[in-house]
Structure 1
Amino acid sequence: MFKKIVVPVDGSESAWRALEQAAALACKFEGELLVMTVIQPYNNAALLAVPLDHNIISQSNADLEEVGQEVLARARDRVDASGFTGKAEYKIELGHPSERILTIAKAEKADAIVLGSRGLSGIAEFFLGSVSTKISQYANIPVLIVK
């Protein structure tokens, strides 16, 4: 049933709770985890009106990737500490989070997506359009949102 579970993590507490739930589901169904983090690189085109040094943008993108690696290292430690003994893969993706999560879930033929909620609701969620809301609306597989 849940043979391959995609778990996006961003370092938030709700993401860690989602990772814990995903590991439990994967254990129960003898599945595997695909733990991913998505970083949004600075887009040079979006900054055309702002006179910035391109070296600053490149350096900032490198810093973002370093943060992504740290998030995945923490995720690996948490998966190991959970007692999960199945297959777990860790991946960094670049781009818009909801788009990358949905694309990877489809490409990897995932059976479910388990992700954290930042707790936005009502009007704030309507205006901001949270990642969890977009994933739940557009995914073609079950989505578990963990608070």
Structure 2
Amino acid sequence: MFKKIVVPVDGSESAWRALEQACALAEKFEGELLVLTVIQPYNNAALLAVPLDHNIISQSNADLEEVGKEILARAREKVTETGFTGAADYRIELGHPSERILTISKAEKADAIVLGSRGLSGLAEFFLGSVSTKISQYSNIPVLIVK
């Protein structure tokens, strides 16, 4: 039933709870996990109106990739801590989070997406919209949103 589960993580507490739930589901159904973190580069259209030094943007994007690697390293630890014995793949993606999660889920022929209810907060969430809301609206596969 749930042979391949996509689990987006961003380092938030709800993402870690979602990862635990995904491990339990995958273990129960003898499935595998695709744990991914999505980095949204600074060179997006929202920043076109702000005059920024391109060296700062390049450095910031490199910093974001390092943060992504740290998040995935922590995700590996958490998967191990749950006792999950199945296969797990870990990946960093670049782009808009909800778009990348949906695209990867479709390309990988995933059976479900398990994600936290809140990652961003405050002003950023107001302008970007909730990733979990967008995923649940546009996904063609089951979505489990963990609080």
* Common fold: TM-score over 0.5: yes
Equivalence for 1:17? 17
1:41 aligns with 2:41: yes
Q: Give the structure 2 partner of residue 3 of structure 1.
A: 3
Q: Which moved more, 1:101-110 or 1:111-120?
A: 111-120
Question: Partner letter of residue 137 of structure 2?
Answer: Q
1:130 matched to 2:133 = no
Letter in 2 for 1:6: V
Measure the CA separation in 1 of the matches of 2:63 and 2:88.
Answer: 25
Change (3 A) 1:48 1:80: same
Quote the offset at 1:50 in angstroms: 2.9
What's the offset of the Cα at 1:135? 0.3
Number of the residue aligned with 2:99: 99
Does 2:120 correspond to 1:116? no
117 and 63 in structure 1: CA distance in 2 versus 1, 3 angstrom threshold: same
- Could you tell me which runs of 5 or more consecutive residues in structure 1 were left unpaired when the two chains were aligned: none
Task: Report the equivalent of 2:90.
Answer: 90
Query: Helix, strand or coil: the match of 2:60?
Result: helix
Residue of structure 2 in register with 1:58 after alignment = 58
Aligned-partner residue type, residue 116 of structure 1: G
Count of residues in Structure 1 that have an aligned counterpart in Structure 2? 143
1:52 positional shift: 2.0
- Classify the secondary structure of the residue corresponding to 1:16: helix
Computed over aligned residues only, the root mean square deviation of the Cα atoms, in angstroms, reads: 1.9
After TM superposition, the score normalised by the length of structure 1 is: 0.91
Whole-angstrom CA distance in 2 between matches of 1:51 and 1:12: 30
- Identity percentage of aligned residues: 90
Counterpart of 2:77 in structure 1: which amino acid? Answer: D
Gaps of 5+ in 2: none
Using the alignment, how far apart are the partners of 1:63 and 1:111 within structure 2? 32
**1:6 partner SS:** strand
